[in-house]
Amino acid sequence: ARTGGFGLGREAHPEELAAWDVDVLPDGRGLPVGSGDVWTGDEVFSEKCASCHGDFAEGRDAWPVLAGGFDTLDDRDPVKTVGSYWPYLSTVWDYVHRSMPFGNAGTLTDDEVYAITAYILYSNNLVEDDFTLSNENFTEVEMYNTDGFIVDDRPAVEYTMWSGEPCMENCKDGPVEITRRSTEVGVTPADDGSMAESFMEEQLARLGGT
Amino acid sequence: MKATLSRRALLRSGFATGVSAAAGAALAQDGPDPLITETQDWAIYTGDPVDATPYGLPIRFEADVIRRNVPWLTADPISSINFTPIHALDGTITPQGCAFERHHSGAIELAKEDYRLMINGLVDTPLVFTYEDLERFPRENHVYFCECAANTGMEWAGAQLNGVQFTHGMIHNMEYTGVSLRTLLNEAGLGAAGDLSDKWVYVEGADASSNGRSIPMEKALDDVLVAFKANGEALRKEHGYPVRLVVPGWEGNMWVKWLRRIEVTDAAVQSREETSKYTDVLADGTARKWTWVMDAKSVITSPSPQQPITHGNGPLVITGLAWSGHGKITRVDISKDGGMTWETARLGRQGDTKALTRFYLDTEWNGEPWLLQSRAMDETGYVQPTKDELREVRGENSVYHNNCIQTWAIAPDGKAENVEVS
């Protein structure tokens, strides 16, 4: 029965809800029945994913790296992958199922997504090569960086520090000097699209693609 | 060093340094101005008829006021970003045609008749709306900024891109018309959700990337809009036509375009766009998640690298933009000496909450080298920090949420450069 005030819209059909409500939560809610093993995943990955992400999920060109980078998060150039950074396996299943392959999203079967997920885990040395992932053992898989996240603490850490009447006169101890110049970097696109290539490659490596 | 100014800016600066430091005055001294003394074509012949342009574009002389992209930033131009030409704009409203785009699987074409919006999850009745349904709910109008979480993100490790369009142009500011999300949630009924204090809504788009994000119920019931008009007309295709979410003050990624589904949940989904992306790595390797609010920020848009001083000595208008996800901008200070001394600028008009605010400093420049900075303050008392202050807390790898004070070095020839200072 409608409890809303305007009587607009109509009740959603179960088939419609099933078609669109496919998100998967960290506790595994939303997972369909199914399974896939590492070797099947290797085959599917090779066929549908490796042209961008590499045969071993290591990434090609500027496309995202999915494996490796463990213990680099406090480095100058962290490598943030499914293995080194992602906190939940549910996100891998959900995102691959919903939005990959890039340009042909939503075309993988549930079992293919289980298999690809198993292969990505294997590529990150998080499971053995005989591992089979299913809706039943899904939440038993431990991710490397699950505890690596804190909820936004800017109010406590930053807002108290950067508030109040600011300095207006004699605000710095020494003379003010230029320490960095963008023109020495040379990466701004000119009208002809040119830019310094060496720096471009370094930045691509830093950003790790899209 | 590569050429970094637009062609027009180069021509202008060449004119200023090569021909005359004060062209207008020189012409007047040399004799009568033929633009006045000789009758011009436009004063003789007719202009275009009213049926020449049913929907117009800017005059051709403004051809450089366009979105630009930086190809090396992303692997392809589909999951990518472009930049609003804020160096050339004034006031606060962003023209939709040059307002930045950020897509994860391209700008899709979704007709109103094909549009459906679903509300499901912990609601009394899961509902499906058509576009026509949405226009029958009570509407609201609000002006808000939409700033990409990654705006200024390339500048964390140093001064990189030489133009305010590139350093600060992942932003637009529009007047939205839409229905409050609260109204739509109430239509579906929140009784089934029970205690709302720990509930969430998960929102996703109709595009292949989906861009799903989790929003706490408190925000969903506060000021979030389901918008279908911007700056008076329908949303542009690339901005979510026909319906997008407007999440005032919060990072642009959450402003889900081509909005197709709103799900009431008892937990955050922890989707890709709130785990792998839009989380901020700190120096020790831990990362902040759910950094939703965009803090107070400002930048001088002119003079700036794409807008050098070309008119020589004398009166100069310094202008720029300030904004805060926490509320209204109350004050903007400007320094010409790299932050040693500050003077307070004039706001174009009283700031709106969570919207761009224009500021001006009417001043004089006589060829002295400047290190220009602006510093925003908002109604919570927050003062925009320096980049060093931010890096002290966060390190250099946060990627997102860089709201640092920007410095432009003004050279004696009037050129401006993106720099960092001690």
ipTM of the complex: 0.91
Tokens of B207: 């595009």
| Chain A CB contacts of B72 below 8 Å | 187, 195, 200, 203-204
In a domain, B64, yes or no: no
B290 touches chain A (CB under 8 A): yes
Asked if residue B260 and residue B185 are part of one domain, the reply reads yes
| B315 and B376 fall within a common domain | yes
In a domain, B73, yes or no: no
Report residues of chain A scoring pLDDT below 70. Answer: 1-4, 190-210
For B70-125, write each residue's pLDDT tens digit: 888 888 899 999 999 999 999 999 999 999 999 999 999 999 999 999 999 999 99
- Nearest CA to B386 out of B406, B372, B368 is that of B406
CATH number at residue B396: 2.60.40.650
Same-domain status, B317 and B170:
no
DSSP letter at B324 equals: -
User: Which of B361, B357, B373, B346 has the alpha carbon at shortest distance from B322?
Assistant: B357
User: Both B170 and B107 in a single domain?
Assistant: yes
Q: Rounded to whole angstroms, how far apart are CA atoms B101 and B99?
A: 7
The predicted pLDDT at position A35 comes to: 98
Q: What is the pLDDT of residue A202?
A: 52
- Helix, strand or coil, per DSSP, at residue B85: coil
Residues B116 and B245 in one domain: yes
User: B232 and B176 in contact (C-beta within 8 Å)?
Assistant: no
Mean pLDDT estimate for chain B: 93
Q: Which of 171-230 (B) contact A at CB < 8 A? A: 186-189, 191, 202, 204, 208-210, 212
What domain count does chain B have? 3
Q: What residue in B sits closest to A6 (Cα-Cα)?
A: B187
What pTM was estimated for this model as a whole? 0.93
Is B310 contained in some domain?
Answer: yes
Asked if residue B210 and residue B190 are part of one domain, the reply reads: yes
What percent of chain B is modeled with pLDDT above 70?
93
Nearest-CA distance B92 → chain A (Å)? 25
Pair B368, B412: CB distance under 8 Å = yes
pLDDT of residue A3: 64
Burial state string for A103-135 with b = 16 or more CB within 10 A and e = fewer than 16: eebeebebbbbbbbbbbbbbbbebbeeebbbeb
Give the CA dihedral A96, A99, A100, A106, nearest 10 degrees: 100
Domain co-membership, B334 together with B280: no
Q: For residue A26, what pLDDT is reported?
A: 98
Residues 6+ apart with CB under 8 A from A25: A90, B265, B267, B269, B270
Average pLDDT of B209-219? 98
Residue A187 is predicted with a pLDDT of: 79
CA distance B350 to chain A (A): 20
pLDDT at site B72: 83
**For A75-97, how does the pLDDT look when each residue is reduced to its tens digit (9 = 90+)?**
999 999 999 999 999 999 999 99
Q: Rounded CA gap, A83 and A89, in Å?
A: 10
**How many C-beta atoms lie closer than 10 Å to residue A1's C-beta?**
6
Q: What proportion of chain B, given as a percentage, has pLDDT over 90? A: 90
Residue ending a domain, choose from B288, B322, B338: B288
Query: Chain A contact for B126, CB < 8 A?
Result: yes
B226 contacts B181 by C-beta, under 8 angstroms: yes
Residue B404 located in a structural domain: yes
Q: Chain-wide mean pLDDT for chain A?
A: 91
Flag whether pLDDT at B7 surpasses 90.
no
Crossing angle of helices A110-123 and A38-48, rounded to 10° = 100
B82, B87, B88, B89 alpha-carbon torsion, rounded to 10°: 80
Contact A188/B75, CB-based, under 8 Å?
Answer: no
Boundary residue ending a domain (B254, B288, B322): B288
Strand partners, B81: B102
B108 inside 8 A of chain A by CB: no
- CA atoms of B313 and A136, how far apart (whole Å): 75
Query: For residue A31, which amino acid is it?
Result: L
Q: Smallest Cα–Cα separation from A87: which of B215, B252, B281, B395? A: B281
Reported confidence tier of residue B413, pLDDT bands at 50, 70, 90 = very high
Verify whether the Cβ–Cβ distance A170 to B341 is below 8 Å: yes
- B201 found inside a domain: yes
List the beta bridge partners of residue B320.
B300, B359
Of the partner residues B4, B128, B337, the one whose CB lies closest to the CB of residue A10? B128
Q: Are residues B275 and B321 in the same domain?
A: no
pLDDT tens-digit series, residues B396-410: 999 999 999 999 999
CA atoms within 13 A on the CB side of A29: 10
| Together in a domain, B282 and B339 | no
Q: Which of B238, B255, B288 represents a domain boundary (last residue)?
A: B288
What is the torsional sign of CA B212, B217, B223, B225?
positive
Q: Are residues B331 and B360 in the same domain?
A: yes
Same domain for B278 and B177? yes
pLDDT mean over B339-345: 98
Contact residues on chain A for B382, CB-CB shorter than 8 A: 159, 162-163
Domain assignment present for residue B191? The answer is yes
Rounded Cα–Cα distance for residues A148 and A143 (Å): 10
What the block records as the tokens of A202 is: 């370094």
Q: Say if residue B148's pLDDT is above 60.
A: yes
Q: What residues make up the domain containing B275?
A: 78-155+165-288
CATH number assigned to the domain comprising residue B188: 3.90.420.10
Angstroms from B164 CA to nearest CA on chain A: 11
CB contact under 8 A, B159 and A157: no
- Is the pLDDT at B324 greater than 70, yes or no? yes
- Element spanning B105, H or E: none
Residue B252 lies in a domain: yes
Chain B residues with CB-CB distance to A190 below 8 A: 2-4
A17 and B118: CB-CB below 8 Å? Answer: yes
Selection from A98, A23, A121, A86 nearest residue B276 by Cα? A86
The pLDDT of residue A193 = 47
**Which of A23, A150, A190 lies closest to B4 in CB terms?**
A190
Same domain, B271 and B385: no
What is the pLDDT averaged over residues B187-194? 96
Residue B67 lies in a domain: no
Tokens of B300: 């001088």
- Do B174 and B94 contact (CB within 8 A), yes or no? yes
Sort out which chain B residues have CB atoms less than 8 A from A16's CB and list them.
Answer: 118, 128
